[in-house]
Amino acid sequence: MAISFPLSLPTVTGIRSVDFRALNAVAYSASPFTFAGQAHAYAGQMWTADITLPPMNRSTAETWIAFLLSLRGQFGTFLLGDPRGCALRGTATSCTITGVAGDNTVTAIVPNGETLLAGDYIQLGTGADATLHKVLVNYTGTGSATNLEIWPGLRVARTAVSATLANTKGVFRLSSNETAWTSGELAKYGITFAAREAI
């Protein structure tokens, strides 16, 4: 059976920890004499993550190792989300998003009185088109189109796209072409890997 990307993470174990980082392409220059500076924000915004798996025996570890090897370094992609951020903190039951590529301010339609809270994740698209976003400000729906602030900005134009509000994920790829794992003295395997958003 041919491998089809993006892959889903193996479910034989959970994830011990994920260190997410939000990268922004910003140029900043400061005077060496007055320390006055200027900043210019470019369009680049990207997720990166370091994933650490729990110690595991060989039979479990080999499932993860095969998953990582099947990615063939930075070639393949996989779906990743915040394992502790699977559920909204807000009360929204639906959310429709419209905007153009690069927008951090999008138009959202959320049922009247339902909320998205700052820090909630939303997913736009599915499969290879999935993108992971964070809500930046508390938002209360009116049932009509109103502005919503998200990060990162839209990767592509979206027109009345229904956002996924639970178990949200984006498409990532490995940050390196090298895959490594540790086999310890107590017959336990240790696996960590770094990933970056596939843009």
- Tens-place pLDDT, residues 13-61: 999 999 999 999 999 999 999 999 999 999 999 999 999 999 999 999 9
pLDDT(1) > 70: no
Domain total in the chain: 2
Tell me: do 162 and 180 sit in the same domain. no
Tell me: do 62 and 5 sit in the same domain. yes
Name the pTM for this structure: 0.92
Tell me: do 57 and 21 sit in the same domain. yes
Domain carrying residue 33: 1-81+172-199
Alpha helix locations (H) across the chain?
Answer: 58-70
Tell me: do 15 and 50 sit in the same domain. yes
Question: In angstroms, rounded to a whole number, what is the distance separating the alpha carbons of residues 66 and 135?
Answer: 35
Residues in contact with 147: Cβ distance below 8 Å, sequence separation at least 6, in sequence order: 105, 106, 107, 108
